[in-house]
Structure 1
């Protein structure tokens, strides 16, 4: 961790220092400033809806990496390696350490449809080159309420910010694609899963803040893992315009291991 280069796994102090000293590229600095201001600032007189996320950034808990391309195979395989490294160290680093990934913005602006395609290309690539088999406890069908993305044998919740959001500013990043990976074990350690009283209370508070922060009703796709009628995959990148978002999950999951043509670490 904290090795030289923007593709390393960095703690928040190291990322901030590299940005302040000019050791990070301008696009990484722009991402960091946008992320920090978005999570720690206010909108419509309301703090960022996810108070767990805001507190963790305020306390310096998250880990970070930067990805110089949204499509280059080597860049995405390096991201895979950073996620695996993160999974090895995050519990010792902090009980609230999510992994925030900043992607280099494209040369030309992308549409909402293109950002959805990009997200699922990234996740599909990670899956196809996963060094571990898909967990037996997680179904392979994204239309199952107990499905969620997995890597390195760990179920996780990737959530995105992107430039195309006009109404849902809690998901808006003016720079480019940003994915925050949060292992399910992190939610369980905080006792904020849907099957706990604390989890339901947190959900109610966050949804109330969302409406005040965004100025619109919480998205219809927001829900809880394992709850009948709710699905995880549409929540990874919430739609702004339903016509520009996929109607079925674009990822193909296989239990075959190792996968054909996989480049394993």
Structure 2
């Protein structure tokens, strides 16, 4: 398992699905007629700060072990990769998975991956981050690093910003987001432009759960996997497990 830099990938040696996933991601990031809403993501792509990884079918238990290994490596090296870095993870997504899984089932796969990552984490959950997702300061942590988790799936139709032909994660360190927010006037302007792009990109209104980390009415977990409508889960699937993991450590 290795983290890949886009310009150094030998595409001729990639299996079809991996090459296809990478090419479709590039098309999405480089589209000038319908630019991807997240401006920092497109900057990270253009500057080659992103790193890429391929993981097997997310239904297989071994996929979580692969993801944990990759994220551990990324955590140790991310601060050397650039201020707009994120880890882009493409999961093998066979036709039967696409045909039989709706948004809700992909959501269950997503939380299964995060729960398993926590089980496999060799580093204690940071003391300054609450273990309860109902607290506004909570966010997912792995290997001692705070992360924003973005998930896209083939089942999303209305919300194009969360639609991708393969089950996909974009994992962004909190320090990247803090750098982005270090200039309030700049970040305010960019966020306004992101909202404008989002309203054009999706065929549905901006999801009401989108918010800003640190706000008292913000819940990060609700933003990780957005539904294809304005609905949301009433309870975080991660809540029970994180407390059980901490209890027995």
Shift of 1:58: 1.7
Q: How does 1:96-111 map to 2 (within 5 A)?
A: 96-108=84-96, 109=98, 110-111=101-102
Aligned twin of 1:66: 54
Aligned equivalent of 2:194: 206
- Equivalent position to 1:118, from 98, 109, 120: 109
Closer/same/farther in 2, CA of residues 218 and 119 from structure 1, 3 Å limit: same
Cα offsets for 1:124-175 (capped at 9, x unmatched): 000011111111111111111111000001110010111111111121102x
**Distance of 2:225 and 2:107 partners within structure 1:** 7
Tell me the residue number matched to 1:34: 24
- TM-superposed CA distance for 1:259, in Å, is 5.3
| Cα distance, 1:209 vs structure 2 | 1.1
| Residue-pair matches, total | 244
Pick the aligned partner of 1:11 from 2, 5, 11: 5
C-alpha separation between the residues in 2 aligned to 1:234 and 1:34? 26
Cα distance in 1 between the residues matched to 2:104 and 2:127: 32
Shift of 1:48: 1.4
Query: Helix, strand or coil: the match of 2:75?
Result: helix
Q: Any conservation in 2 of the 1:132–1:257 contact (CA below 8 Å)?
A: no
Q: In structure 1, which of residues 218, 230, 241 is the aligned counterpart of residue 206 of structure 2? A: 218
**CA offsets 1:236-264 (integer angstroms, 9 cap, x no match):** 11111456x5321101213856956xxxx
TM-score by length of 1: 0.85
> Contact 1:134–1:255 (CA<8 Å) still a contact in 2?
no
Q: Where does structure 2 lack aligned partners over 5 or more consecutive residues?
A: none
* Range 112-121 or range 212-221, more displaced: 212-221
Q: How does 1:1-265 map to 2 (within 5 A)?
A: 7-15=1-9, 18-19=10-11, 21=12, 23-42=13-32, 45-108=33-96, 109=98, 110-174=101-165, 176-191=166-181, 196-241=184-229, 246-251=233-238, 252-254=241-243
- Distance in 1, matches of 2:245 and 2:162, equals 34
- Using the alignment, how far apart are the partners of 2:228 and 2:203 within structure 1? 14
Alpha-carbon distance in 2 for matches of 1:137, 1:198: 28
Q: Aligned to 1:102, what secondary structure does the other structure show?
A: strand
**Displacement after TM superposition at 1:186 (Å):** 1.0
Identify if the C-alpha distance between structure 1 residues 192 and 27 changes in structure 2 by more than 3 Å, giving closer, same or farther. Answer: farther
